[in-house]
Chains A and B, each alone.
Chain A
Amino acid sequence: MTTPPERWLLDTNVWVFGLRRDASFPGCAELLDRIGTFSILIPLQVLKELNLTLAESEMREFYQIINQYPEFIELSWEPVPPDRVRFYVEQGCRKGDAVIAAHAEALDVKIIVSENRQFLQTLRDLPVEIVNTGEAQTRLGWSLS
């Protein structure tokens, strides 16, 4: 299989609202439906958050699905250096969001997709860009055209 050129980190809220098919955030489900046209990275922090949100059997099924498609989805079990978490906290992130940004940086992911408004407004002029699902879909449409 061919690995898609775009590689994004989907924040936990995109997974949760997407799997719930939550009508308040329709872009989340729409984005999950397009995985494969872009590839994604799931870092340790997101895996831990999903583990506390999904039931054990659901999490098992989640791993079974993603392990079948390594071209689309990459898992990272590596923690991030604490000094990079501190760096993003100093940029204005809450600590949890700082961990996500540090994961993206450490794994060379340039784009985080999130509906977390506070997170979206925090990072400016840094190597990691945060976009919402609408912006992500626009980007995807542009990159496919």
Chain B
Amino acid sequence: MQSIDDLANVITELNPSEQQTLLDKVAQLNFQKGLHGLAEKYRARLTRQNQLNTPSEQIWIALHRIREEIAEHDYPA
């Protein structure tokens, strides 16, 4: 693997638009890495709670209930 200095030298050889594309890509990958980590923790908790394989119909029921409860609270008729 290249050292950080070597990598920096390679990057400075790129033109500005390529550097920007690279920075955008690195940011996107870092974001995805964070989101994957969160998904793993969420799935691990659901596994511990025996809820990871909950049928999607039940998840929909819960999502609809939560949605309507919040809406009724925030925007009463």
A interface list, Cβ under 8 A from B: 1-2, 12-13, 16-22, 24-25, 29, 32-33, 35-37, 45, 48-49, 52-55, 57-58, 61-62, 64-65, 68-69, 71-72, 79, 82, 85, 94-99
Contact = CB atoms under 8 A, between A and B. Distances in A.
Contact of B24 (A1, A19, A95): A1
Contacts of A79: 74
A71 B52 CA distance: 32
A19 B37 CA distance: 10
Contact of B35 (A20, A32, A55, A95): A32
Contacts of B60: 13
A35 B32 CA distance: 8
Instruction: With a 10 A CB-CB cut-off, give which of A52, A79, A96 has the most chain B CB atoms.
Output: A96
A1 B32 contact: no
Contacts of A25: 56
A54 B35 CA distance: 13
B63 A49 contact: yes
Nearest to A80: B75
Interface in B1-60: 20, 23-24, 27-28, 30-32, 34-35, 37-39, 41-43, 45-46, 52, 56, 59-60
Nearest to B41: A58
Nearest to B31: A69
A69 B27 contact: yes
18 contacts: A1-B27, A2-B24, A18-B39, A19-B38, A19-B39, A21-B39, A22-B59, A32-B39, A35-B31, A36-B32, A48-B70, A65-B31, A72-B28, A82-B75, A85-B71, A95-B68, A95-B75, A99-B74
